[in-house]
A = this chain, B = another copy of it.
Amino acid sequence: MQVLQSQVGAEPQTTGAPDRRIAQFAPGAAFACFTMCFSRNEEIFAEEEEADFVYQVVSGAVRDVRIMSDGRRQIGAFHLAGDVFGLECGERHRYSAEAVVDSEVALVRRSTLHKAADADGGAARRLWAITSRDLQRLQDHMLLLCRKSAVERVASFLVGMAGRGVAGEAIDLPMSRTDIADYLGLTIETVSRTLTQLERDRAISMSGSRHIVLHDRLFALDG
C-alpha cells in the first residue's frame, strides 16, 4: 500500500522532528505534509482540542479514544498504515487519538484541506468521501455493539483485521486485550476467554497473544 509519495528512506524520527512530504489521502487527493513519530501510548491529539491538522498513519497503529467522566473507556476505531484520521469538518476533535505502538504519522494542515475544498468541488467531495467511509464503518460497528454476542464480536474483529492486512489468514494484533475489549464493548477477561474458546474450537490458532492464524470456520462465526 503506497502511503506517501517519495516514501523511500522514511525512517522513524524522534517526536517533533518534521520532514516535508506529500500525503496521498485518496486517488486525486494529495497534500503537502510533514511526518512525526509517536511512541507507544503517546497522545497524538486530545478530545476537544483545536483540529489544526489531519493525520495519516505511515507505519504503526493508532486508536481513537473516548473516556467517560467515571473512567469508562471506548475505542471508536483502530487506524493502520494508510488510514486517514482526525479529519473534522468542525473546529474541534471529538475524540482523542493515541499511538497503539511506536508509529509514524503524516500531518496535513486543516487549512490546506479546507482551502482546497472551498476552491474545488472535486476536492471537497473527496474529503466528504473520507468522512462518508468512516460513517459506514461506524454503522457496521454499531450493529456489532448493538446486537452481536461476544463470540461474534471477537470473530468480526479478527476477520476485519485480517481484511486490512496483507492477504492471508495470519494476522498480527498490535493492540492489547484492553484495547480490543474497549473496542468491542466487552471486558478483557471475556476477550481472553473468547479467544481461548475459538482456539479450542479450532477456529483460530495463536502463537503468542498477538499473532493469530484464522481458520476457515471462523468466518462462519462472523455474524
Contact = CB atoms under 8 A, between A and B. Distances in A.
B138 A138 contact: yes
Given A68-B147, A76-B142, 17 more contacts: A66-B143, A68-B223, A74-B143, A89-B133, A90-B132, A90-B136, A119-B121, A121-B121, A121-B124, A124-B124, A131-B131, A134-B135, A138-B142, A141-B142, A142-B145, A145-B146, A146-B182
Contact of A125 (B76, B95, B117, B223): B117
A191 interface: no
Contact of A146 (B139, B143, B185): B185
A132 B89 contact: yes
Nearest to A132: B89
Interface in A70-123: 70, 72-74, 76, 88-90, 94-95, 114, 117-123
Closest CB pairs A-B (n = 7): A124-B124, A89-B132, A145-B145, A146-B185, A128-B128, A118-B121, A72-B147
Interface of A: 66, 68, 70, 72-74, 76, 88-90, 94-95, 114, 117-125, 127-129, 131-136, 138-139, 141-143, 145-147, 182, 185, 223
9 contacts: A114-B125, A117-B124, A119-B121, A131-B132, A141-B142, A142-B145, A145-B146, A146-B185, A147-B185
Contact of A142 (B118, B123, B142): B142
Nearest to A122: B118
Given A66-B143, A141-B142, A125 B118 contact: yes
A94 B136 contact: yes
